[in-house]
Structure 1
Amino acid sequence: MTAPQGPLVVGVDSSTQSTKVLVVDAGTGDVVARGQAAHTVTGDQRRESDPQEWWQALREALAQCGPAAAEAAAVSVAGQQHGLVTLDAQGVPVRPALLWNDVRSAPQRDRLVAELGGPGEWAERIGSVPLPAYTVTKWAWLRENEPQAAAAAAAVRLPHDFLTERLTGRAVTDRGDASGTGWWSSAQQAYDEKVLELAELDPQLLPEVLAPGEAAGTVGEVAGWEPSGLPEGTLVATGTGDNMAAALGLGLRPGRPVVSLGTSGTVYAVSPHRPTDPSGTVSGFADARADWLPLACTLNCTLAVDRVAELLGRDREAVDPAGETVLLPFLDGERTPDFPYATGLLTGLRHATSGGQLLQAAYDGAVFTLLQALDRVLN
């Protein structure tokens, strides 16, 4: 490794499927090392992961960065939004985390929306109408279906909060990731007492929400956990949710939307105005600074396309020009449109339909709703 021109900083992306790490020379912007380690996602209709795997994946990805990681001056964690992490009094997960694309909490979502006064009330208070992806609905599901696990929880965290706390020993989060829980009010920029009461969640279980730019702490030894591989004393930023981090990294300014095709498909833009969409199509998130991040998201994107490619025995790039086939790839229900109980639908087959046309239809179906939502995100 050549001598850096500035301090080395570490960026962490803990996503649904893997943890990725970049070590960057802050003086030049050059990437000097990188690492990646996979996660396990279990279940068919359910989507769960062991948070301890995220920690081990972070340690493994940092180890792949070699001596560069040991010279880091600062680190920040971005994580998949909405996941419900429940910890006992020793900071050990009570059960596997419920991931954002686990939609078993649809009945609890319906109840919570009604009990607060309907979609309009949610949009005005929280900034979003909760979907089964949101953390508040997952907590309600856990209380109803696994009350012993809920009772054992001494702390409730988001995925990025969990990793930040493992690094620092401090329970903190940021306004961006907190805005995707359903229990943080965008109107008050604080936890919403009424929603917490409806969800039967003690606010003492939640992390402190830090201001934009406020440091979470420094890397230290956390009892019961193996060292991260970063030097003690490394500055730890608050971090944020993955979409907020992407908007920050891209330097987004109002009026310039992003369409992102990953495990989920998202379309979002930075806005100076607080979003309040009562239809629920646009989620009114906060960004990682002091603005807002109106966002629409689909559950079924690359995972659905990859599944169709697997069924066809084709490479994911082996498409043919589109024919008459239409494929709605709602393999895990859907978030946009709000059809959590939906299944996939294939229509328009002909004798001449090729496997490549079917795969192209899967791509088309995955992006169609995002393109429809684009105008609403920009309004």
Structure 2
Amino acid sequence: MDYLLGIDAGTTSFKAVLFNLEGEEIVSAVYEYELDHPGAEMVELAAEKYWEACKSVIRIILSKWNGRAADIKALSIAGQGETLIAVDHQGCPLRPAIVWLDNRAVEEAERIEAEFGSEQTYKITGQPSIVPTWPAAKILWLKENEPRVHHKTAKYLLLKDYLIYRFTNSFVSEGSLLSSTLLFDINSGLYWDEMLKFVGVSGDQLPEIVKSAHRVAELTDIAAGETGLAKNTWVIAGALDQAASAIGAGNTGYETITETTGSVLAICANVPRVLFDPERRIPCHYHAIPGAYFLLPWCQTAGMVYKWFRNEFYGHFKASGLGDVAALFRHMDEEAARILPGSDGLVMLPHLAGAFTPESNPRARGVFFGITLQTDRAHFSRAILESVAFMLKRNIALLENLGTTVREIYSLGGGSKSELWNQIKADICQKPVVTVRTPETTSLGAAMLASVALNLHENLEQAAEKMSGRNQRFDPSVVHDHVYTAAYEKYIKLYDALKPLF
């Protein structure tokens, strides 16, 4: 039997999942690490530590699995964006990786904006704002602050590109990952020459652009020896983690969105063409799906708010039988479920770390409004769940106003484990919410790209039909629609009224 290995290269951990061609999870493994903070606004990690994490998670997979390494036909990586690694002509890192969380390049981002303007940059790269996160700003910072490193750099790579190089000795990247670099033109699928010239790099210093379902090469002898995989294992180009997750959920068409409620709320809406928001509130990315793009609204705090409330107001349960995190969240849901929809008039703004799409207001803060003498802890829990659903509804409204069609919502992330939350989202958005069979959709999406690259499936649509699957469907109820409509309108008015005070 043939197997495919999907690797999710995350911010503080690597996760690997081995799948068969039906998308069934055979075995999985996680390897965690900590980032370095060498200075104010600086976040780094030695590139070799990323490679060690990748090798380790693969070896854990092989140690837990009773099969033959030769039966793993390919590996594919879904990676975090924006983490920059500079290597010399021998492919050796010249300094630690500058992680996507790093914000040192503030002045450089401002220089880029002064040179090109936000509107032009948006129309070329799909990124509505110019911030220090983007690798173009990081490269400019290196040019100005570490000129010896910049001069010696043969290739500037993103994390996934670097891992592919360690596996194959090939320098390649793909559009979904490059979309947030400010170096990539999403209209042409090529590098943006004017930006390259401004930050001081040539096209030769960047990886070759290939398709996401591209067979890069088989493993080198060294990579095979270090990982335990067979030398004839193919390495596939892969995709940005958000693109891979949408694919892994089975979202390969244009009338379904995925929403991931983890710490943040991230929404992925596939579109068949480049689509810009006139008010520049939503980024538009090049997709791993051929010929497609995706809009990526996101909100900074979602599940993080529920976790904050758990830590601050349910802490005493740790000394009881509810010390288990999952059990405690279930208990919170049970309490919230006894409160009627609308939380008896209690409304929350969940902006504990600023508001992003569509408000784009970093000064916004969290608010509970409508507290009475009858309000108890369960009201607050339910109000939090409803507030995240209101954020989702507001972003769906924005997507629909831009011309997209949303008939169904695939729910991913830790929040999708809550049946109560799924039903609240369905009722507030008045759209079906569907959970998926395999929770590790990012790794599955990477594996699905590998299946297409090896011609094991004809295309991603067929791969989705064969490998991804639904779990539960939550149909919207109209019974409480009038209550939720009134609460949603209050949510909007509350933010508008408080905006001048933030």
Identify if the C-alpha distance between structure 1 residues 268 and 191 changes in structure 2 by more than 3 Å, giving closer, same or farther: same
User: What amino acid maps onto 2:232 in structure 1?
Assistant: G
* 1:126 pairs with 2:148: no
Instruction: Tell me the equivalent position of 1:296.
Output: 297
Does residue 39 (structure 1) correspond to residue 33 (structure 2)? The answer is yes
**What corresponds to 2:489 in structure 1?**
none
Bigger drift between 48-57 and 235-244 goes to 48-57
Aligned position for 2:13:
18
Matching residue within 374, 388, 394 for 1:372: 394
Equivalent pair of 1:329/1:362 in contact (CA under 8 Å) = no
In the alignment, does 2:352 pair up with 1:329? yes
- Aligned-partner residue type, residue 60 of structure 2: Q
Distance 1:326 1:121, change over 3 A: closer
Q: Distance in 1 between matches of 2:313 and 2:273?
A: 45
With the length of structure 2 as denominator, give the TM-score of the two structures: 0.64
CA contact (8 A) 2:347 2:387 kept: no
Match of 2:84 in 1: 84
Amino acid at match of 1:36: V
Offset of residue 206 of structure 1: 0.8
Where structure 1 has 5 or more consecutive residues not aligned to the other structure, the ranges are none
Tell me which amino acid in the other structure corresponds to 2:140. A
Alignment of 1:1-379 (within 5 A): 4=1, 7-26=2-21, 28-43=22-37, 45-66=41-62, 67-68=66-67, 70-71=69-70, 72-116=72-116, 118-132=117-131, 133-222=133-222, 227-252=226-251, 253-290=253-290, 291-302=292-303, 306=307, 309-310=310-311, 314=315, 317=329, 318=332, 321=336, 323=346, 326-330=349-353, 337-338=359-360, 342=362, 345-348=365-368, 369-378=391-400, 379=402
Q: Quote the offset at 1:364 in angstroms.
A: 6.5
Q: Tell me, what secondary structure is at the counterpart of 1:209?
A: strand
Q: What is the DSSP-based 3-state SS (H/G/I as helix, E as strand, rest coil) of the residue aligned with 2:4?
A: strand
Distance between the aligned counterparts of 1:351 and 1:73, measured in 2?
Answer: 61
**1:292 partner letter:** Y
What CA distance in whole angstroms lies between the structure 1 residues aligned with 2:394 and 2:145? Answer: 36
Instruction: Give distance in 2, aligned partners of 1:306 and 1:248.
Output: 28
What's the TM-score once normalised by structure 1's chain length? 0.83
Contact 1:301 1:367 in 2 (8 A): no
Contact 1:275 1:283 survives alignment (8 Å):
no
Deviations 1:71-125, CA, capped at 9 Å, x for gaps: 3111111101222222233323333333333344344333312311x22212222
Cα distance in 2 for partners of 1:61, 1:48 equals 21
User: Once superposed, what is the RMSD of the aligned Cα atoms?
Assistant: 3.3
Question: For the structure 1 residues 345 and 130, does the alpha-carbon distance in structure 2 shift closer, same or farther, using more than 3 Å as the test?
Answer: closer
Deviation at 1:60, TM superposition (A): 1.7
Task: Give the Å deviation of 1:179.
Answer: 1.8
Counterpart Cα distance in 1 of 2:264 and 2:347: 25
**Aligned in 2, Cα 1:124/1:343: closer, same or farther, shift over 3 Å?**
closer
**Matched positions, count:** 368
Alpha-carbon separation, structure 1, partners of 2:46 and 2:366: 34
Distance apart, 1:51 and its partner CA:
3.0
Whole-Å Cα distance in 2 between the matches of residues 142 and 360 of structure 1? Answer: 47
1:320-352 Cα offsets, whole Å, 9 max, x none, are 656466452217x9686545xx46734458797
Give the distance between the partners of 2:241 and 2:123, measured in 1 at CA: 24
Q: Can you list the C-alpha shifts for 1:135-170, whole angstroms capped at 9, x where unaligned?
A: 223323443444444344332111211111111110
Which stretch shifts more, 348-357 or 106-115?
Answer: 348-357
The amino acid of 1:297's aligned partner reads W
Q: Secondary structure at the match of 1:77?
A: strand
Partner amino acid for 2:297?
Answer: A
Q: What do the CA deviations read for 1:26-74 (whole angstroms, capped 9, x no partner)?
A: 2x33222211111213348444333322222222221222254723111
**Greater helix proportion:** 2
Tell me, in whole angstroms, the C-alpha distance in 1 between the residues paired with 2:356 and 2:139: 20
Q: Deviations over 1:344-376 (max 9, x none)?
A: 734458797877777777766767655433333
Whole-angstrom distance in 1 between the partners of 2:111 and 2:4 = 44
CA distance in 2, matches of 1:280, 1:31: 39
Identical-residue share of aligned pairs (%): 20
Q: Deviations over 1:285-309 (max 9, x none)?
A: 1111221111123344555664665
3-state SS of the aligned residue for 1:163?
A: helix
Name the SS of the counterpart of 1:280 in structure 2.
coil
CA–CA separation in structure 2 for the residues paired with 1:151 and 1:308? 49
- The one-letter code sitting in structure 2 at the alignment partner of 1:128 is Q
What SS class does the counterpart of residue 10 from structure 1 fall into?
strand
Relative distance call for 1:257 and 1:347 in structure 2 (3 A) is closer
